[in-house]
């Protein structure tokens, strides 16, 4: 049988997108996989030898939720997919009603210029005048004005969505311009929401555009989404995804979810008419540092355009009440191998927020930082050096070991001189390569994965001095060294 491995997991399995497993059951296939690639066992299973919550296993496009059927005999042409997270009643395939009531639709009118502007929509039988009025009456929140937000915001504006609120706390940087096509060179160092506002006004100045430059948290998200019909999740981190999901689930607001990583993307619709939420699919996010985010792992430039366009399409279908939706489904797209599949997401009766006995009843009560593994209160505090301190030690020629745990493509962009390369999954078995009598400093892009590396070695019993580069290599880019032998 074939095991297909999503891009976020491939570094743990020899960088393979698929593996042929000489097995006739799921359990044997997974055993073959982890035996062949021992580094993959840590990412696939938790300490109790259970498949981690952020990974779902599909067999012939059907999710396996009960491990007892892993021993059932399967035919040779079986396909297994390992699908990780990128962070009511049963869902139905029947079209849902429009999110916009008839009363709100009837309150909308068009002028002559709008009749001309939206002529292509008005010609479509499934949209027409009534549908275009629903679009104009709609109020949509887009969280994130980056790679995914760029196509979503522009297509919703071009389609005529009447009110668009964009929330993003970040500013435009030069590296954003490769994939965040809503911004231009002149927008560098400007707030992303300001750049997005200018682009929307250039598309259609009659749109009500609300620019919110702030970071969402449990204290403000409910106020920001209140009164809106739909939220489009265009974020790039697990903390924001679960925050959005929980707030929207509690307030009955549908979410159009999108995620990208390297060459792969996912799109789904959550919290719609008793359908599943994000936690039904992925009860909790991966441990911090185990799986890099899109910002760390990168993505090919057109990919957010593909995924964001599908998100905008789903949003418009929900506003119009037409077609078949991704409610209770995830569309998985692999742009490198030109494949796609639609996977069913079951409503989980044990879901902590939308299950039969929910344990999450308000946004404020959830400690999202702890949930996402951003706090380390249960770990021994990790000591570290600032970029300036490490640079001084390098200049002084101190006898120490520097370990780079970044991915190969990250090291290709920016190398760290005289560092040895050890992926996190290899640390335990390669710890003998480290000298416990020397200081060992771990480096990664932003300082999170290196903390995970240190805690992993400590757990394995390593007793030598371990330190983290605070802020990672990103924080060290502007450091000036006194000699050319050490530079970034």
Structure-block tokens of residue 257 = 């979810």
pLDDT digit string (tens) for 220-262? 999 999 999 999 999 988 888 889 999 999 999 999 999 998 8
Token pair of 15 as six digits = 């960088």
Q: Contacts from 69-78 at CB under 8 Å and sequence distance 24+?
A: 69/26, 70/25, 70/26, 70/27, 70/30, 71/25, 71/26, 71/27, 72/25, 72/26, 73/24, 73/25, 74/1, 74/24, 74/25, 74/26, 76/1, 76/24, 77/1, 78/1, 78/2
Over 80: is that where the pLDDT of 380 sits?
no
Give the tokens for residue 143: 């969280």
pLDDT digits (tens, 9 = 90+) for 20-33: 888 888 888 888 88
Q: Read out DSSP for 302-354? A: HHHHHHHHHHHHHHHHHHHT-S---BTEEEEEETTTTEEEEEE----TT-TTT
CATH 3.40.250.10 fits 384-476, yes or no: yes
Which residues touch 174 (CB under 8 Å, ≥6 apart)? 185, 188
Asked, as a colleague might, if the bond just before 473 is cis with ω within 30 of 0, I would say no
Q: For the chain, what is the mean pLDDT?
A: 85
Mapped onto helix, strand or coil, the DSSP state of residue 411 is helix
Which of the residues are catalytic?
294, 444
Domain boundaries, the chain: 2-84, 138-371, 384-476
Residue 378 pLDDT > 70: no
What value does the mean pLDDT take over residues 8-35? Answer: 84
Select from 3.30.70.600, 3.40.1360.10, 3.10.20.30, 2.60.40.420 the CATH code of 2-84: 3.10.20.30
At CB < 8 A and 24+ separation, what contacts does 429-433 make? 429/38, 431/457, 431/460, 431/462
* pLDDT confidence of residue 484: 42
The Cα 387–Cα 384 span in angstroms is 10
CB 306 within 8 A of CB 80: no
Please tell me the class of the 138-371 domain. Answer: alpha beta
**Distance, CA of 450 to CA of 382 (rounded, Å):** 10
The pLDDT of 134-142, averaged and rounded, is 97
Whether the pLDDT of residue 266 is over 80: the answer is yes
- First CA to last CA distance, the chain: 45
pLDDT at 322: 93
Closest alpha carbon to 42 in 294, 287, 284: 287
* pLDDT, tens digit (0-9, with 9 covering 90-100), for 300-334: 899 999 999 999 999 999 999 999 899 989 999 99
Region 385-404: mean pLDDT is 91
Convert the pLDDT of each residue in 182-230 to its tens digit. 999 999 999 999 999 999 999 999 999 999 999 998 889 999 999 999 9
Q: What is the pLDDT of residue 309?
A: 97
């Amino acid at each position: 049988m074939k095991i297909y491995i999503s891009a976020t997991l491939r570094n743990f399995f020899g960088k393979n997108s698929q593996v042929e497993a000489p097995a006739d059951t799921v359990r044997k296939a997974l055993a073959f996989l982890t035996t062949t690639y021992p580094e993959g066992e840590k990412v696939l299973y938790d300490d109790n030898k259970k498949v981690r919550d952020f990974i779902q296993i599909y067999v012939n496009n059907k999710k396996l939720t009960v491990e007892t059927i892993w021993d059932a005999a399967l035919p040779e042409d079986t396909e297994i997919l390992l699908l990780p997270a990128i962070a009511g009643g049963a869902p139905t395939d029947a079209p849902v009603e429009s999110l916009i009531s008839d009363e709100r639709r009837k309150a909308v009118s068009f002028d002559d210029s709008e009749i001309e502007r939206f002529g292509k929509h008005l010609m479509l039988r499934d949209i027409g005048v009534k549908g275009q009025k629903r679009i104009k009456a709609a109020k949509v929140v887009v969280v994130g004005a980056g790679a995914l937000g760029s196509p979503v915001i522009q297509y919703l504006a071009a389609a005529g969505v009447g009110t668009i609120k964009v929330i993003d706390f970040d500013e435009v940087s030069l590296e954003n311009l490769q994939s965040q096509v809503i911004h231009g060179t002149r927008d560098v160092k400007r707030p992303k929401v300001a750049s997005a506002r200018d682009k929307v006004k250039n598309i259609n100045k009659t749109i009500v555009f609300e620019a919110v430059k702030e970071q969402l948290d449990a204290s403000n998200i409910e106020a920001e989404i209140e009164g809106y019909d739909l939220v489009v999740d265009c974020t790039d981190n697990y903390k924001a995804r679960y925050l959005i999901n929980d707030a929207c689930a509690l307030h009955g607001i549908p979410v159009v979810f999108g995620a990208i990583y390297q060459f792969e993307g996912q799109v789904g619709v959550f919290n719609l008419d008793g359908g599943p939420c994000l936690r039904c699919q992925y009860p909790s996010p991966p441990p911090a540092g185990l799986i890099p985010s899109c910002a760390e792992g990168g993505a090919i430039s057109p990919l957010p355009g593909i995924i964001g366009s599908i998100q905008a399409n789903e949003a418009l279908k929900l506003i119009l009440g037409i077609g078949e939706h991704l409610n209770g489904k995830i569309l998985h797209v692999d742009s490198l191998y030109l494949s796609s599949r639609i996977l069913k997401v079951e409503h989980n009766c044990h879901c902590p927020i939308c299950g039969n006995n929910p344990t999450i009843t308000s946004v404020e009560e959830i400690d999202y930082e702890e949930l996402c593994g951003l706090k380390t209160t249960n770990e021994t505090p990790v000591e570290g050096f600032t970029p300036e301190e490490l640079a001084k030690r390098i200049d002084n020629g101190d006898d120490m070991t520097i370990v780079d745990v970044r991915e190969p493509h990250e090291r290709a962009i920016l190398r760290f001189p005289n560092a040895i390369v050890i992926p996190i999954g290899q640390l335990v078995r390669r710890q003998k390569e480290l000298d416990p009598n020397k200081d060992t400093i771990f480096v990664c892009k932003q300082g999170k994965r290196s903390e995970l590396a240190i805690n992993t070695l400590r757990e394995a019993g390593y007793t030598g001095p371990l330190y983290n580069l605070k802020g990672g290599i990103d924080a060290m880019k502007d450091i000036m060294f006194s000699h050319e032998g050490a530079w970034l």
